[in-house]
């Protein structure tokens, strides 16, 4: 059982590392695609990926975080009429990334937990796995009580 847990954790880490690396070219392509007026769910996905691009860019600057927040707010506004569970969970996940990068550990953990709670009700297992991975980034593995949660 312990070996399986480690295997899943390593798999999630590899998945998260791959999913978080958005190149400048990919970001430019997403910006171009936004201009074509894609359907709302696709628009939300593009906005949140652009937000993550801003969050995880090397040499963090306040402007990058402000841009990420603007993309997140646009996604929230679109999802207010759609009420998509997956989009709401992805928003919380992206907010958690932003909070973690800003050093707001408690807020980041709370948002990651909220993302997990929301995404468990949906069908997007990929986003759910990413939310679990983000939540695992906030666990102290030296504290057995946290591992049981």
pLDDT digits (tens, 9 = 90+) for 112-134: 999 999 999 999 999 999 999 99
pLDDT band at 89; cut points 50, 70, 90: very high
What integer pLDDT is reported at residue 18 of this predicted model?
A: 46
The CA distance from 113 to 139, in Å, is: 11
Question: CB 18: neighbour CB atoms within 10 A?
Answer: 8
What's the whole-number average pLDDT of the chain? 86
Q: pTM of the predicted model, to two decimals?
A: 0.81
Is residue 99 within 8 Å of residue 108, measured between CB atoms? yes
Sequence-distant (6+) residues with CB within 8 A of 76 are 91
Is residue 90 within 8 Å of residue 72, measured between CB atoms? no
Is residue 86 within 8 Å of residue 72, measured between CB atoms? no
Token pair 């907010």 is found at 95
Q: What is the mean pLDDT of residues 24-34?
A: 90
């Amino acid at each position: 059982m312990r070996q399986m847990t480690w295997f899943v954790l390593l798999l999630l880490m590899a998945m998260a590392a791959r999913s978080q690396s958005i190149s400048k070219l990919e970001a430019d392509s997403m910006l171009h695609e936004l201009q074509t007026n894609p359907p709302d769910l696709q628009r939300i996905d593009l906005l949140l990926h652009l937000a993550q691009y801003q969050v995880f860019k090397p040499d963090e600057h306040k402007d990058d975080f402000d841009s990420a927040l603007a993309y997140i707010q646009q996604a929230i506004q679109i999802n207010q009429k759609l009420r998509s569970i997956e989009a709401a969970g992805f928003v919380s996940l992206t907010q958690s990334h932003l909070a973690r990068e800003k050093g707001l550990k408690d807020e980041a953990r709370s948002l990651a937990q909220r993302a997990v709670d929301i995404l468990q009700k949906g069908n997007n297992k990929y986003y759910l796995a990413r939310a679990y991975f983000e939540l695992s980034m906030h666990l102290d593995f030296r504290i057995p009580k946290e591992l049981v949660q």
